[in-house]
Structure 1
Amino acid sequence: MTEARAPWGARAVPYLPLGLIAALGATLAYVVRLPCRTGGWNDQVATYTNFCYTDIYPLYFDRALATQNPYFADVPFDKQVEYPVVLGEVMQVISWIARWLEPDAVAQAVRFYDLTVILLGVCLVAGVLLMAAVAGPSRRWDPLWYAISPAVVLAAYINWDLVAGALSMGVLLAWKQRRLVLAGVLLGLAIATKFYPLMFVGALFLLTLRTARWRPFLVTMGSAVAAWLVVNLPFMIFAWEGWRRFYVFSQERGVDWGSPWLFFQTKGWPVLGEIDVSTLGMVSLAVLCLGIAVLTLAAPRRPRLAQICFLALAAFMMTNKVWSPQFVLWLVPFAVLARPNWKPLVLWQLAEVWYFVAIWLYLLSQPPLGRDDLGISDDTYFTAVWGRVITIGIMMAFVVRDILRPDKDVVRRTGVDDQAGGVFDDAPDRFTLTSALR
């Protein structure tokens, strides 16, 4: 009896251990931040030395969540919520519950943190289980990297990224099962939660171009646009200033922590004095995406969807103006699905853990704290920045090699063509650069 035809209970049994381990990872992530929850977040030195910083608690006050809807809030523009609407309204609903449960403002903020952590823990478990369904029976245990890897545990509750992570895995599973409308709806909601899932549109387009499976692509994209409009239009009409805050902030934001551009800016490289960093980032991303497009259309065998999603997302992160420690949550599931080889993954995870430690120690030495006795220098911090860039670059190089030499792809060695491919799975080529040149 195949897995698809087995009773629901029999199909669910293999997922139970993964779900329990993911729940353990979510619990460990909560324990990591207990020093801040019990000791308060107001002491920055204690927060950084205990490595327990989170955006969740301070934004309850700083983004008007304690009093009103953040998009309709009568507050200065820089105090409005700088996130897309799905995430902003998730924050709003949780703040309503916190205010209903607690009369005191400080107690409300702690409750807001606890309730948010419960939601994020559920999203982590859901993301792991969805990833396992995408990976398939032959790679069932690969999602352990997402469930309990050290970098995931350390970064899980810095921000709300796990919500978008669960939606992104839902997109892949729906596409795999050829549920095109559902895949599009989830993609639209994911983009309205965090912006990075927009990179998956390019991956789908390139593989559609190669296989000429245009109807599934258009149905999915139409559903994504419709879902995005449904959740965004009310705010665009009735709360324009609050709605556009995310897009203005993304455009105007300068170089920030984690970005390789910060290294060049700190070292005073002349080129950054002549070219705007936003332009540099967009041009760099465009060059990398062009390379990914050429690779996808010129490879001897059609690449897997997860491989192109990983390359596109990694390119987006490496060229961005900011690279926060929680961005590791974006990449882990796609990195594992693209190339589930433990050696480069371990190397990258070590680099992410070092960056997680380095960023808080570096902030200790920066104004306004200026605690050089507790913090680290610029040069030490930038070893962590470049550690991430180099280790992700190594993984990208291995994925490119697997695409150019499919016999090296450990997923395809099991006889699978594309475990997340959906309509692309076993699809013949209709267009390649080689055929076009001929």
Structure 2
Amino acid sequence: MAPRTPKRITVPSREDPLLRRFTEVLGGPLGRHTEPGRTEPGFFTLERVLVALTIIGALAAVAAKNACRVGGWGGVNPYVWACYSDLPPLFHARGFAENPFAPFVAGANFEYPVLMSFVASITALPIVPGDYNRSLAYFDLNVLLIAALWIAVVLMTSRSAGRRPWDAAMVAIAPGMILASTINWDIWAVAALAGAVLAFSRNRTVLAGVLIGVGTATKLFPILFLGAVVVLALRTGRWRAFGTTTAAAAAAWIAVNLPAMLVSFEGWKVFWTFTREREAGWSSLWHAWNTIADAVGAGGLSAETINTAGFLAFLLCCAGIAVLGVIAPQRPRLIQLVFLIVASFVLFNKVYSPQFVIWLIPLVALAWPRWRDFLVWQLVEVLHFFAIWAFLYQMTADLDAQHALAPAAYVLAVFAHMGMVLYLMGRVVHSMWDPHADPVRRVGQDDPTGGAFAGAGDAAWIERLRSTLTRAATSRRGDGSHES
């Protein structure tokens, strides 16, 4: 086999209007006669620069939590300084201080899926009893692993981007990653999905399926990747990739969950019971609705009503995305569909925790890599991030109304960050309908993450349907001309 020829990569300062303007103080964008990707960069390779940027982001993430690292996570301190994290409080509240494997024993009350429970347990194992702040040590150990996974996500995103590897810099320095990545263990599932996207792009469907199964056993949203795969299989008629990916995902999920079910079925189902029965979570559409209802003296929505309404809304979104994926003039890119499905899930989910933003950041970097829109979205997410902690502070502290964040301001922040996600979805939909508006396809790529679907034509039934619709439209125009 002949060696692979290095590919010329897209230079952000040439292609992105915002970055082009930023480079004016440095002498302007890179010259047209250079060939990044084909010339030797020396020590500062693209991936080394991305790793360095991610390390800077991780250090900023630690600094953002330093007020709690110094003053503790008790009382209102996490809300005053916006340094909240689930990790230290759960170390004691869920029994990890006494038994590292507390989620897997009788009477467990750890409300997370199996692999997230396992991660929480494994990282609690080295935190042995002693004369030191054990919850802080637990937090620091988890943050060290989060930083390593963050680097992995950036590198996998870069390698999934084809000729646009620099788009992964969005993931490396995103304010949302800096502020929210250390709230919980969500980045483990983010890394699994990023790995699945990379594996699928290289036609390793079994590995992609395994990573989807592992990610779903950590947090549910990676399973939504299969929705994008089935839409492209329907459009192209290539079902083998969907079959192998789905089978591998199911096998991996069962392999992870079955032992936990056998050890303690009651402990295993805590997550599912908690998810079904919990009320509307912070910053969700449903919590904003209930906050407004409380303010005007109306009754809020129950957990059962939210379950039904949220499921139906998400189902309608998925149906719309599927129709769009089939009828769009050109086959959509895989990651465009993944982003739309995951974003719909986030918008109508019962919970929209602040850390959910890190689910979307790598997807946006691949689906709509435009720095202006990305930075505006991140600014709104930062405003929402501080709004929710200010809102929780005024709920837990005895404050005068003049010193508190009004519920209306918090609701506006919730609608603003949801509105920005809708805006990004709209941009992606537009780029699907008009491929010339797609930043990825404009640089001469079809679908870097498409794997088996990259370069595929439409299935025969779609061609027949289009021919039928074209003939019907022509016939109607002919009849109209004759009558006139």
TM-score range, shorter chain: over 0.9
1:121 aligns with 2:110: no
Q: Is the 8 A contact 1:363 1:375 kept in 2?
A: no
Cα–Cα, structure 1 residues 88 and 12, in superposed 2: closer, same or farther, change >3 Å?
Answer: farther
Give the residue type in structure 2 aligned to 1:113: F
- Aligned residue runs from structure 1 range 356-367, under 5 A: 356-367=385-396
- Counterpart of 2:5 (choices 2, 5, 9) is 2
Q: For residue 197 of structure 1, what is the aligned residue in structure 2?
A: 222
Q: Are 2:280 and 2:303, in contact at CA under 8 Å, matched by a contact in 1? A: no
Tell me how far 1:111 sits from its aligned partner. 1.0
Give the conservation status (yes or no) of the 8 Å contact 2:73–2:88: yes
Task: Classify 1:362/1:186 alpha carbon distance in 2 versus 1 (closer, same or farther; 3 Å).
Answer: same
Q: Give the whole-Å Cα distance in 2 for the aligned partners of 1:371 and 1:60.
A: 33
* Kept after mapping to 1: 8 A contact 2:177/2:358: yes
2:78 aligned with 1:47: yes
Contact 2:209 2:249 in 1 (8 A): yes
Equivalent residues of 1:32, 1:52 under 8 A apart? yes
Measure the CA separation in 1 of the matches of 2:59 and 2:136. 17
Distance in 1, Cα, partners of 2:430 & 2:43: 34
Larger radius of gyration between Structure 1 and Structure 2: 2
Asked if 1:56 corresponds to 2:82, the answer is no
1:228-280 CA-to-partner distances (Å, cap 9, x unmatched) read 11111011112101111111111111112101112222222679479811111
- Pair 1:36 & 2:61 matched: no
| Conserved? CA contact 1:364–1:374, under 8 Å | no
CA distance in 2, matches of 1:292, 1:134: 22
What whole-Å deviation, never above 9, does each CA across 1:359-415 have from its counterpart, x for those lacking one? 000001114655645430110101110101111111111111111111111100111
Q: How does the TM-score come out when normalised to structure 2?
A: 0.84
Question: Is the Cα contact below 8 Å between 1:176 and 1:422 reproduced in 2?
Answer: yes
Deviation at 1:334, TM superposition (A): 0.5
Using the TM superposition, name which of 341-350 and 273-282 deviates more: 273-282
Query: Compared with structure 1, are the counterparts of its residues 265 and 293 closer, same or farther at alpha carbon in structure 2 (3 Å cutoff)?
Result: same
* Mapping of residues 212-361 of structure 1, within 5 Å: 212-268=237-293, 272=301, 276-361=305-390
Distance in 2 between the 1:174 and 1:371 partners? 54
Gaps of 5+ in 1: none
**Partners of 2:303 and 2:80 in 1: CA distance:** 38
From the superposition, tell whether residues 243 and 340 of structure 1 become closer, same or farther in structure 2 (CA, over 3 Å).
same
CA distance in 2, matches of 1:24, 1:214: 43
Q: Give the one of 125, 130, 141 matched to 1:103.
A: 130
**Structure 1 residues 400 and 231, CA, compared in 2 at 3 Å: closer, same or farther?**
same
Q: Decide whether the 8 Å contact of 1:128 with 1:147 is kept in 2.
A: yes
Contact 1:296 1:302 in 2 (8 A): yes
Runs of at least 4 residues off by over 2 Å? 3-6, 9-14, 70-75, 266-275, 367-375, 431-438
Distance of 1:324 and 1:126 partners within structure 2: 23
CA distance in 2, matches of 1:10, 1:426: 34
Amino acid at match of 1:124: W
Q: 1:74 to 1:343 in 2, by over 3 A?
A: same
Deviation at 1:49, TM superposition (A): 1.4
How many Å apart are 1:424 and its aligned residue?
0.8
Out of 73, 83, 91, the residue aligned to residue 112 of structure 2 is 83
| Change over 3 Å in CA distance of 1:43–1:72 after alignment to 2 | same
User: Are 2:157 and 1:131 equivalent residues in the alignment?
Assistant: yes
Q: How many residues align?
A: 430
Cα separation, partners in 2 of 1:170 and 1:275, compared to 1, 3 Å: closer
For the pair 1:70 / 2:102, whether they are aligned, the reply is yes
Unaligned 5+ segments in structure 2 are: 8-36, 469-484
Distance in structure 2 (CA, Å) of the matches to 1:427 and 1:434: 13
Partner residue in 2 for 1:151: 176
RMSD between aligned alpha carbons? Answer: 2.4
Structure 2 residue aligned with 1:167: 192
Matched, 1:382 2:411: yes
Is the deviation greater in 140-149 or in 363-372?
Answer: 363-372
**Aligned equivalent of 2:11:** none
TM-score, normalised on structure 1? 0.93
Distance 1:243 1:120 in 2: 24
CA distance in 2, matches of 1:431, 1:32: 55
Same amino acid, percent of matched pairs: 37
Distance 1:248 1:435, change over 3 A: farther
Aligned to 2:48: 16
Distance 2:104 2:314 in 1: 34
Note if contact 1:210-1:431 (Cα within 8 Å) is conserved in structure 2.
no
**Stretch deviating more after TM superposition (427-436 or 307-316):** 427-436
1:41 to partner: Cα distance: 1.0
Contact 1:209–1:431 (Cα < 8 Å) also in 2: no
